Amino acid sequence: MEYVGGAYSYALPGRAGARGELARPFDQRLFFAGEATQRHDFSTAHGAYQSGTRAAEEATAALTRSQAR
Ligand SMILES: Cc1cc2nc3c(=O)[nH]c(=O)nc-3n(C[C@H](O)[C@H](O)[C@H](O)COP(=O)(O)OP(=O)(O)OC[C@H]3O[C@@H](n4cnc5c(N)ncnc54)[C@H](O)[C@@H]3O)c2cc1C
């Protein structure tokens, strides 16, 4: 991969819903970001950015819920 400086995802035809699976948190402790997790604006820099803010908000909400218990 010497000449490859990056990549982005694409979904197989009919499998775009898999992006939602990739984005799903694990056990409310592990949160996933990255352009491949976006239902919209995937394969782009702004999609990657949006996924980061979404994952951060999910983590913050999970922390808030756990502290309220
Ligand atoms: C040639 C090319 C042109 C593009 N042009 C555009 C464009 O014009 N406009 C646009 O919006 N988008 C463009 N994109 C897409 C955009 O660059 C990507 O969608 C975006 O960078 C994805 O961001 P990301 O954070 O999801 O992943 P990445 O930017 O791939 O970040 C993932 C990071 O994780 C690191 N990593 C991987 N494995 C591990 C590990 N095991 N441990 C620790 N770190 C690890 C990697 O080193 C990398 O730094 C282009 C992409 C390519 C390849």
| Residue 12, pLDDT above cutoff 80 | yes
CATH number of the structural domain 18-68: 1.10.10
By alpha-carbon position, which residue is closest to atom 7 of ligand 1? Answer: 44
Q: List b or e across 36-59, with b for residues whose CB sees 16 or more CB atoms inside 10 angstroms.
A: bbbeeebeeeebbebbeebbeebb
**pTM for the full predicted model:** 0.91
| Residue 2, pLDDT above cutoff 90 | no
Verify whether ligand 1 is closer than 6 Å to residue 6 (CB atom): yes
Q: How far is the CA of 32 from the centre of ligand 1 (A)?
A: 14
**Lowest-confidence region among 4-13, 32-41, 50-59:** 4-13
Residue bearing tokens 């035809």: 13
Verify whether ligand 1 is closer than 6 Å to residue 45 (CB atom): yes
Mean pLDDT, range 45-66, rounded to an integer: 97
13-51: pLDDT as tens digits: 999 999 999 999 999 999 999 999 999 999 999 999 999
Q: How far is the CA of 28 from the centre of ligand 1 (A)?
A: 25
**Residue spans per domain, the chain:** 18-68
